[in-house]
Amino acid sequence: MNPLLMTPGPVPVPPEVLNVLALPIEHHRTAAFQQCFERVLGKLPALFGTSQRAFMHVSTGSGGMESLLVNVLNPGDRVAAVVSGKFGERWAEMAEAYGAHVDRFEVPWGDAVDVNAFELWLKNLANKPHIVMSQACETSTAVLHPIESMAKVIRQNHADTLFLVDAITALGALPLPMDAWDLDGVVGGSQKAFMLPTGLSFVAWSARAWKKIPHAKTPRFYFDIRDELTANLRGETNFSSGVPLVKALDVVLSQIDSFGGISALYKRIDCVARATRNSLDAMGFCLLARSPSPSLTAVCAPSGIDGAKWRGLLESKYELVLMGGQDRLKGKIVRLGHMGYIRDEDLMRALAALPNSVNELNAGTISTEKITAALAGAEACLKSVPMPWLAG
Ligand SMILES: Cc1ncc(COP(=O)(O)O)c(C=O)c1O
């Protein structure tokens, strides 16, 4: 058996992506690469649901978060940050590192933003925020936040406050139409729904944000989007391009075109998520997120089982690679990703490994009948929305 990667990023990538990644290295300042780069740049805005330009950085997702921020921030700005897990904490710290005054809207880990409480908190802030930041999906807890409603509340209360969204585990995985929801900045990452290895981040800003970009006083160099724009208008990147990743992205985007657009991917990811949640629930597992994102599921370690030990057994014996909990959730949960090249048999293997490993650690607490029935339910659910690659 090959190790089965089922983490919420990096994700398993389609065979066609692996093939293109194995091609000889090409230089980025060539006519052939320029064509590929421009094709990709032309297609990216549709994934954001924006009429603005979208950009790529050779960076992890965190680099994209930094880019989103430094291009609109002034030292001393007030930033209102939703903190509902590890990634929210980190983005708030990043804003502080760049000299922002950060007010934190703390959400219990595992909960989604309550829009009424959020609105009240925004209204009662002593200082109006220049920027509001939130994750769309907080990957450390698997929660999906109500971004559309949050955007409305922000706009109703503060006409020119910018709303920046970390959509690293949301962009490409679920609908997040940037223009229709009036979001001012969105960042995604290659190792998530884009089905590529880690190494590219994707960013876009609204027209409202673009008015602020030329005047932002935060020092910026690598991520200065004005220079990237100038280079992109020539069909180039400002610095070296991540050529293999961009070529692989070109393949992914043309696959998405060939199976009728991104909504086919949303449907499949949602189906994998439902099959996972329903079957684990039927087996008696507790799921952490009360408002779960389709992009991943966080499963609580059953009582008496240390999550790290459980994950270790899944890796060593079942050759199933999942992620554990971070920070205060360390040892308490394991997280399964639903993005990427996940075939029915892959998910079925993972769903069987979870109860079997628990039984091994805890002496037969989940009955065979329960497991069989839950797996049959998951299989039927998966068959109702086949993987788009294999459907046609
Ligand atoms: C919501 C969210 N934000 C930020 C990051 C950080 O991305 P990276 O590790 O690519 O820098 C991740 C990574 O998993 C994430 O899920």
Q: 61 CB under 6 A from ligand 1?
A: yes
Q: What is the DSSP letter of 256?
A: H
Which of 93, 164, 168 most suits a substitution to test ligand 1, by most atoms within 8 Å of the C-beta?
168
Q: For ligand 1, atom 8, which residue shows the shortest CA distance?
A: 61
Q: Is the four-CA dihedral 176, 179, 183, 189 of positive or negative sign?
A: positive
Q: Dihedral, CA atoms, 188, 192, 195, 198, nearest 10 degrees? A: 80
Q: 59 CB under 6 A from ligand 1?
A: no
Whether the Cβ atoms of residue 367 and residue 375 lie closer than 8 Å to each other: no
Q: Quote the ligand 1 centre to 384 CA distance (angstroms).
A: 31
pLDDT of residue 388: 86
- Give the global pTM: 0.97
Report the 10 Å Cβ neighbour count for 290. Answer: 11
d(CA 175, CA 171): 8
Q: 166 CB under 6 A from ligand 1?
A: yes
- Residue ranges and CATH numbers for the domains of the chain are 4-10+261-391 (3.90.1150.10), 24-258 (3.40.640.10)
Task: Pull the structure tokens for residue 298.
Answer: 């966080």
Q: 84 CB under 6 A from ligand 1?
A: no
Q: Quote the ligand 1 centre to 168 CA distance (angstroms).
A: 6
Please name the amino acid found at residue 252: V
d(CA 66, CA 215): 17
d(CA 253, CA 235): 18
pLDDT of residue 363: 62
The residues, any chain, with a CB within 8 Å of residue 304's CB and separated by 6 or more, are 362
Q: 355 CB under 6 A from ligand 1?
A: no
pLDDT of residue 225: 98
Q: In a structure prediction context, what are the per-residue pLDDT tens digits for the chain, which is 392 residues long? A: 679 999 999 999 999 999 999 999 999 999 999 999 999 999 999 999 999 999 999 999 999 999 999 999 999 999 999 999 999 999 999 999 999 999 999 999 999 999 999 999 999 999 999 999 999 999 999 999 999 999 999 999 999 999 999 999 999 999 999 999 999 999 999 999 999 999 999 999 999 999 999 999 999 999 999 999 999 999 999 999 999 999 999 999 999 999 889 999 999 999 999 999 999 999 999 999 999 999 999 999 999 999 999 999 999 999 999 999 999 999 999 999 999 999 999 999 999 999 999 999 976 689 999 999 999 999 999 999 998 876 54
- Strands of the sheet containing 296-300, edge to edge, are 296-300, 333-337, 323-324
- Strands of the sheet containing 131-135, edge to edge, are 54-58, 200-205, 185-189, 162-166, 131-135, 78-83, 101-106
